[in-house]
Structures are given as C-alpha cells and as structure tokens.
Amino acid sequence: MVKELARPSASLRKGAAPPTAWAFLSGKYVPIGEARISVLTHAFNYGTGVFEGIRAYWNESQRQLYVLHMREHYERLHRSCKIMRITLPYSVAELGEVTLEVVRRSGYREDTYIRPVAYKSSELIGVRLHDLEDAFTLFAVPFGTYIDVDRGISCGISSWRRTDDNAIPARSKITGAYVNAALAKTEAQEAGFDEAIVLTQDGHVSEGSAENLFLVRGGVLLTPPGTDNILEGIVRTSIMRIAQDEGIPTQVRQVDRTELYVAEEVFLCGTGAQISAVTSIDHRPIGDGRLGPITARIKDIYFRAVRSESERYRDWVTPVYPGSAGR
Ligand SMILES: Cc1ncc(COP(=O)(O)O)c(C=O)c1O
C-alpha cells in the first residue's frame, strides 16, 4: 500500500500562502484553498504559461503597502502572452484592479509578492499552442528577501546555458523556461555558491538564474543587451533611470565572461532579488571583495523609491489601501 505523506516542514513551505490569503481564478475572487486546477491542465503538463513577479513594499511610518511598477509588469505580461499566443481578456488597468483587490482581501501589511499567471488551461493531452483555452489566475504571498541584500553574494558561472530566443524566448516570462533557471540555481548552490550567472549559447554573459546583471568597468555601468537572451527586466530599467539621474555613465553592450572577473563591481537585480552586490565570481573577489560605491549608491536610492520615500520616483508605486494611510 502507498503511504500518505506528512505535511512538509516549515522550510519547505517558505514563500507559501497563509490560509487567509485570497486568489483570483477564472474571473472570481476565491479563498486560496479554493484556487485549484486540474492535473490535466495543459500548462501544468507542458509549461505553457506566462507569469509575472510583482513586489509590494510595506511602509511602516505611512502604514501603507505600495505595489511597485504595476503597469510595467502588466505591459510585459501582455507582451509575453503575444509571443505564447495566450489571450488575456483583461487590460493593463483591469489587471491592476484585480491585483489591488486580491492584496486588500488578503489584508497584507508586510512586504508581499504578487504572482499573476496567464496559461493554457485546456484539460487535454497534446503539445501545441493553438486551439486551446486560456485562463488567468493571481495570488499574493508575504515575502521578505529572496537573496540576501545586505551581505555580498558569491556566484559561479553555470555549466547550463541560457535558452536562446529561437529555442525558448527569454523575452517572454514563460513558466516552462524556468527549468533552465532551476537547473542553474541548484547547480550553483550545490557547488557552494549563492547564485548562478548564465552565459548565452555563444558564451557571452546573459544574466543571473532569475536576475539581470550589471557590472562596473572604468567607472562605467554596463549591462548585457536584450538580444543576449535576458528577461528585459523592470528593475534593470529602473536602475538605468537612477544611473541617468545620478549622472553615472551607462552602456548596454555585450559582456565577456572574464570582464566579470576584472570588474570593479558586479550586482544582480530583479523583483525577487532586488539589488544584490556580487562580491566573488568563480572564487575570484570582485573589486576588493566588498560592496562597491556605485552599487551602494544605486541600492540606497532604489530601496527608498520602492517604499515611496522618494518624491522623484513616486510614480513607480501604487498604494494598496484607500486614503493616504493603510488601515
Ligand atoms: C530570468 C530573469 N531575469 C531577470 C529578472 C528580473 O526581472 P524584473 O526586474 O522585471 O523582476 C527575472 C525576474 O523576474 C527573471 O526571472
């Protein structure tokens, strides 16, 4: 007889939703426990979904929760759907309304991670994108740091290459594509590194397992181009905006692997990772092996902006709760 399995331990449940959470599924708001899909679901079997990861930041002094770059995330979700031939029946504005409603119903007053997914929902066997039904779901979970942002992290260059645009396009945030990120991340952590850096098929620097990458050489901030199989990150764009506002020279160009070894500074960025200084790569210290001045400056500005503490970047955030203060 097959034994029933025990409930997983707390560490296996990190990032899980509390029982009081709400979700949006098939056009309805439902308690998280009722947000269930069939094992036959096409996206579950073949990875035919696209998704976003959106953060909301709690500002304790303002008693308000702020969703970061909501419009940009939903514009990207629409672009991902276009590539994957998924019909999303909601506009960017409507997706924003659903987001605020799910977070409000869940009642979060802490940093939160929001996960919208548009996916092929037909319950049948058959690999294709056409002649299938589409669905949309969204849920939110309390979420602190994904990668330590205070301590510098160690990275290893992955033996796994990033999928090419003509294989599984990184420009579309496709659920199935994250097998590539998972292979790279586990390889890196089992080798004793915190994170992986993945290269393109032709050996240029692409990005982290699920983060974009910046480096500093000769005082110039560099980042690989969208054509080097990166996800066109929203935090990446924000960092380029901060760099421009701060007068930090910035260049988007192809990057060689060994440029990382001799860089003055390297950092990874993304919604989950936020901004993480990389202090060693393949056992070589980056700069003097500590947080560098350009990374520190950008980080400081970014972390104030996301909690709506900066006048200049106030349009990056949307308050969740009515009025100027949360309940
Ligand atoms: C593969 C990959 N690259 C980069 C990023 C960073 O993108 P963003 O800044 O939009 O979160 C992510 C995170 O979503 C990602 O999964």
Task: Give 324 Cα–ligand 1 centroid separation in angstroms.
Answer: 30
pLDDT mean over 299-314 = 97
Position in ligand 1 atom list of the atom nearest CA 72? 10
Choice among 142-146, 224-228, 307-311, 316-320 with the minimum mean pLDDT: 142-146
The pLDDT, as a whole number, for residue 161 is: 98
Answer yes or no: is pLDDT of 327 > 90: no
The pLDDT, as a whole number, for residue 11 is: 58
Would you place residue 144 in the very low, low, confident or very high pLDDT band (cuts 50, 70, 90)? confident
Q: How large a percentage of the chain has pLDDT more than 90?
A: 90
Answer yes or no: is pLDDT of 281 > 80: yes
The pLDDT, as a whole number, for residue 10 is: 58
Answer yes or no: is pLDDT of 301 > 90: yes
Position in ligand 1 atom list of the atom nearest CA 207? 3
Position in ligand 1 atom list of the atom nearest CA 271? 11
Task: Give 236 Cα–ligand 1 centroid separation in angstroms.
Answer: 9
The pLDDT, as a whole number, for residue 324 is: 58
Q: Which is higher by pLDDT, 47 or 323?
A: 47
Cα-trace Rg, the chain: 20
**Which residue numbers are catalytic?**
173
Mutation to probe ligand 1, out of 75, 180, 231, 232 (largest number of atoms < 8 A from CB): 231
Task: Give 211 Cα–ligand 1 centroid separation in angstroms.
Answer: 5
pLDDT mean over 14-28 = 91
pLDDT digits (tens, 9 = 90+) for 73-128: 999 999 999 999 999 999 999 999 999 999 999 999 999 999 999 999 999 999 99
Would you place residue 6 in the very low, low, confident or very high pLDDT band (cuts 50, 70, 90)? low
Mutation to probe ligand 1, out of 212, 228, 239 (largest number of atoms < 8 A from CB): 212
What is the rounded average pLDDT for all residues in the chain? 95
Position in ligand 1 atom list of the atom nearest CA 69? 10
Answer yes or no: is pLDDT of 326 > 60: no
pLDDT digits (tens, 9 = 90+) for 179-227: 999 999 999 999 999 999 999 999 999 999 999 999 999 999 999 999 9
The pLDDT, as a whole number, for residue 150 is: 72
Task: Give 221 Cα–ligand 1 centroid separation in angstroms.
Answer: 19
Residues with Cβ < 8 Å from 40, sequence gap 6 or more?
A: 123, 124, 125
The pLDDT, as a whole number, for residue 284 is: 98
Q: Whose CA is nearest to atom 6 of ligand 1?
A: 270
Answer yes or no: is pLDDT of 288 > 60: yes
Answer yes or no: is pLDDT of 60 > 80: yes
The pLDDT, as a whole number, for residue 16 is: 85
Task: Please choose, from the candidates 204, 200, 188, 203, the residue with its C-alpha nearest in 3D space to the C-alpha of residue 280.
Answer: 188
pLDDT digits (tens, 9 = 90+) for 229-251: 999 999 999 999 999 999 999 99
Which protein residues are within 6 Å of ligand 1, measured from CB? 53, 181, 207, 210-212, 231, 233-236, 270-272
Task: Give 214 Cα–ligand 1 centroid separation in angstroms.
Answer: 13
Decide if 52 contacts 115 (C-beta within 8 A): yes
